[in-house]
Structure 1
């Protein structure tokens, strides 16, 4: 699994959003899914104190606007995110600054920034095409260590918490490999060979893709809508082993 994931998804263009100021930590704590004081990620940290981690920024409906790879610095935080979303995200965050002593600056990423990314990169980067499409659990962010359920409120927190405590997730992040990379596209539909909806593509590189997969279809033969000749191999699912396929659809109105 490690060899398959190693630097699989690194071609995306990233920007750095610098969040600094006396109130930077407090400000971010009220906006992101992670605990800014205890950053986390599924890949173990090599140092005693973790200074990097994964987090999501959600809208009021609990949908993920973007993911951040967060780097703690002496003056605040560097937030790595897809370059195409940087301006949108900066403008969105400015709405919540009010009187907080916080500055936001968009910059190019540096080599130093990129070295903090884990070698087994399993970040389902959200792009312009699917921003605000998924709740965090659909992207398995709880499994990846990008959500704290012990911290206080943040934008979209009520929806995210409700989904978690119901504990019935029909869709999860998965890694697939396809026989023809030309068939892959953001938001491309994953279907069973019986043409049942099985999910959609979040992000891809080469012939591998991260998808939001319907767990009920994980054991079925899969292909791509409009490319029925393409074979799909399911490589991994990030989910809780206790999750079942037989869920009441009324329990997940957010999905």
Structure 2
């Protein structure tokens, strides 16, 4: 059980909310039923992501969960388009999120909550409290709840779950290669750089949305030279976002998205956007520090043509 302390929420409601978001987000909201959720992103007209989040259709409103450092940019940019619709965007500072993971977790979740949501779905376990089944290399869940109920839920859950730092949840994201967009990377990448079409966060058949032309063109051309990969450093090292990575010849191969160091190892795990050729040869290093990196194969397939049919 980890408190996702850097998580923030944006609430979108009003009669035109779905139509409004359909014209701005990369995924297809027409197929998102109540109590379902998926990853999505919002792009500039040049196809660069200024926000990425998990979007929940909570029946009477849409909830967007993202790094809190993206909230202001997301609200301000979407707000420029929202004025033409009957919809309202508000930052919901009353919500917090917990990450739940572990072996045989579905049994524990069923015992605690009385039922278990299916993949891509959520169940309401109390007023304004949602339990979401989220993807990963292992089975895991997120609990979105009012901050004023956090203490009560924490005490209740710690009888079944061991409290761990948020870095544990970040390591699970790294293991599954499910990237989170941080404030340091705003407008730096198109969705394909973070493998988002392969994570069902982009629809190429939904029609127009802001940035769609650039995103679709890159997918159709199939000429993307860089993607997100999981790397393991040979020793524990601090790797801030945007740390440059090079090959043996000193040529820039990409940059770090974010990193975490497990407490029980002397290695650092990280997600980085690097050139595909560097990932395939394993030729990745730091410019000035003698540390080697191991590049892991992706835990899911990249099928550009199949993704175009979604």
More deviation, 102-111/124-133: 102-111
Of 94, 99, 109, the residue aligned with 2:96 is 109
- How many residues were matched structurally? 227
When the two chains are superposed, the root-mean-square deviation of aligned CA atoms in Å is: 2.5
Quote the Cα distance in structure 2 between the aligned partners of 1:81 and 1:220: 31
Q: Which moved more, 1:184-193 or 1:154-163?
A: 184-193
Displacement of 1:76 = 1.9
Q: For structure 1, which runs of at least 5 residues remain unmatched after alignment?
A: 1-6, 40-47, 244-255
Is the Cα–Cα contact under 8 Å of residues 200 and 213 in structure 1 kept in the other structure? yes
Q: What residue in structure 2 maps to residue 240 of structure 1?
A: 302
TM-score by length of 1: 0.80
Within 5 A, what are the aligned runs for 1:71-150? 71-107=56-92, 108-111=95-98, 112=129, 115-120=132-137, 121=173, 122-150=177-205
For residues 166 and 10 of structure 1, what CA distance do their matches in structure 2 show? 41
Return closer, same or farther for 1:231/1:73 CA change in 2, 3 Å cut-off: same
1:146-225 alignment, distance < 5 Å: 146-206=201-261, 207-218=268-279, 219-225=281-287
In the TM superposition, what is the alpha-carbon distance from 1:125 to its structure 2 partner? 1.3
Question: What is the rounded CA distance, in whole Å, between the counterparts of 2:131 and 2:69 in structure 1?
Answer: 17
1:119 Cα shift?
Answer: 4.4
**Closer/same/farther in 2, CA of residues 50 and 177 from structure 1, 3 Å limit:** farther
Structure of larger gyration radius = 2
Q: What are structure 2's unaligned runs of at least 5 residues?
A: 99-128, 138-172, 262-267, 306-310
Displacement of 1:221 in angstroms is: 3.0
Segment drifting more, 22-31 vs 217-226: 217-226
Cα drift, residue 142 of structure 1: 1.1
Q: Give the stretch that moved more between structures: 215-224 or 170-179.
A: 215-224
* Bigger helix fraction: 2
Q: So what's the TM-score if we normalise by structure 2?
A: 0.67
1:170-199 CA deviation, whole Å, 9 max, x = no partner?
111111111234231100112222322221
